[in-house]
Amino acid sequence: MVKVINLKWEKRLLTNRNARAVALDTLIRVLEKDSYSNISLNNELQKAHLSANDSNFATRIVYGTIQYKIYLEYQLHDLIKTKLKEIYLRPLLLMSAYQIIFMDKVPNRAVLNEANKLAKQFGKVNSNGFRIVNGVLRALIRRRPILPTLDNLPFYLSVKESVPEWLVEYLLKHWGAERTASILSSINEPAKNIVRVSQATNLANVISEMNQLGFNPQESTLNLNELIVSHGGISKTSLFKNGEITIQDEAASLAVQAFDFVGNEQVLDACSAPGGKTVQIAENIPQGNVIALDIHENKLHLVEQNCQRMKVSKRVTTKALDARNADQAFAAGKFDKVLVDAPCSGLGLIRRKPEIRYNKKLTDLTDLQKIQLQILDHVCSLLRSGGELVYSTCTITQEEDEDVVKIFLKKHPEFELKPFKAAKMQAPNGMLKILPDSYGSDGFFISKFVVRG
């Protein structure tokens, strides 16, 4: 494999070795102990006190290794001739393979040297782990990356895009070979840095300030108040701290825009944490109120923090409640609008959260469908006649999206789908599905209902 070697990078990497140890510690937790990547990485970064560059380097190794786990395992599989007994070995081989194959600026000999040292540091006394690591990585460097043959398309795509085979088969069944390949390659692209500008703020002023700060904001294709910025770090700006902008995907924010607001409504946000859409609803109803539920009491402080920062707290009340009990807690017909942004498989978010792909299985889709339908069953009576119900998910599966709509309508013939316009998007049949390759946004589903007149 030919790599362009940047000597400045090499020197920096060799003098700052801790980044890789942080990455390895994190990956041991995530890959061998099923911990969450963001929590484990934050904990390890906090302990290590790395420079900003080294933190970025460790972060890239962790997320890249997780993102390409299946692909990397395939590269290493026939090079590993012995049982990997020590817990650090598999994560170390995977993260080293990631650097060799994907990080062009990192010289292979730096990867080898550092892997060697980490093997000695993490291995037991008298362990021969460093020899295994050395042998496998040298063999990998000699050989080019490989892929399975195309004869078995699901397996080929599973390895190539590092997505479990069941999910590839699912996509193939629903969208065919060409679209599946497009969806899969798009979810491995870097996620956009995207912000939503508060409706209480002047968009032109925000754009001008972002330009001054070097964020080079660009218009979103989907949405009016969303801006794509050139790089991360926006949450450190005063625009963010003062509640003029928030971080919200351009497809996700369409769900609230599917409502036709008057401005004084009573709204129920049935599944609200961390509160992105609660804030957005509150911005639309200067004389109204939102009740924001979540089953997990410990997540409600995120909703409250978000509302406070975005200066809409006065119009929001949070309440820990299983939405499946909402019809016992509130009077029938109390609300003008109800949003069910349901718990779901989250498969529309794979680009942002690479491990989602490994945590889900086919049966989850129907298990989640049951919960989604139960929530809808128990909130729909809370809507006043003429009120609007929006059901949305951050997934793209038929079971959790169109099938939920179909089953709900069958059980509740008093409801019908309502065509809607949300920012730059139209949903003439009352449903809008955005696949991750359509606009480079999250995959998202929105449906809107009204009580039949």
Ligand X SMILES: C[S@@+](CC[C@H](N)C(=O)[O-])C[C@H]1O[C@@H](n2cnc3c(N)ncnc32)[C@H](O)[C@@H]1O
> Annotated binding site for S-adenosyl-L-methionine: which residue ranges?
271-277, 294, 322, 341
User: 268: which residues sit within 8 A by CB, 6+ positions away?
Assistant: 290, 291, 293, 326, 330, 334, 335, 337, 338, 339, 379, 382
Q: Under the criterion CB under 6 A, does residue 183 sit at the interface with ligand X?
A: no
CB of 296 to ligand X, least distance (A): 4
Region near ligand X per CB under 6 A, out of 71-79, 161-169, 188-196, 316-324: 316-324
Q: According to CB under 6 A, which one of 295, 407, 417, 431 is a site residue for ligand X?
A: 295
Specify the amino acid at residue 411: K
Residue 5 or 295: the one with the smaller Cβ distance to ligand X is 295
Site string for ligand X, 117-136 (x = CB under 6 A): --------------------
Inter-CA distances, 399 with 173, 185, 263, 389, 433, Å: 13, 23, 34, 19, 13
Active site residue 380: no
Residue 211 or 235: the one with the smaller Cβ distance to ligand X is 235
Structure token digits, residue 348? 């529309």
Task: State the residue for tokens 């000695």.
Answer: 120
Quote the CA–CA distance of 341 and 111 in Å, as a whole number.
44
Where in 392-411 is the site for ligand X (CB under 6 A)? Answer: 394
Where in 188-207 is the site for ligand X (CB under 6 A)? Answer: none
Q: Under the criterion CB under 6 A, does residue 250 sit at the interface with ligand X?
A: no
Residue 275 or 440: the one with the smaller Cβ distance to ligand X is 275
**Other CB atoms within 10 Å distance of the CB of residue 360:** 20
Residue 90 or 299: the one with the smaller Cβ distance to ligand X is 299
Quote the CA–CA distance of 3 and 144 in Å, as a whole number.
12
CB of 369 to ligand X, least distance (A): 13
- What is the Cα 111 distance to its own chain's centre? 29
Inter-CA distances, 381 with 166, 329, 409, 444, Å: 37, 12, 13, 25
Residue 113 or 381: the one with the smaller Cβ distance to ligand X is 381
Q: Could you report how far apart the first and last alpha carbons of the chain are, in Å? A: 67
CB of 253 to ligand X, least distance (A): 9
Which residue among the candidates 307, 344, 380, 394 is catalytic per the annotation?
A: 394
Quote the CA–CA distance of 239 and 162 in Å, as a whole number.
37
Where in 325-364 is the site for ligand X (CB under 6 A)? Answer: 341, 343
Q: Under the criterion CB under 6 A, does residue 258 sit at the interface with ligand X?
A: no
Residues tagged active-site: 394
Residue numbers at the binding site for ligand X (CB under 6 A): 270-277, 293-296, 299, 322-324, 341, 343, 375, 394
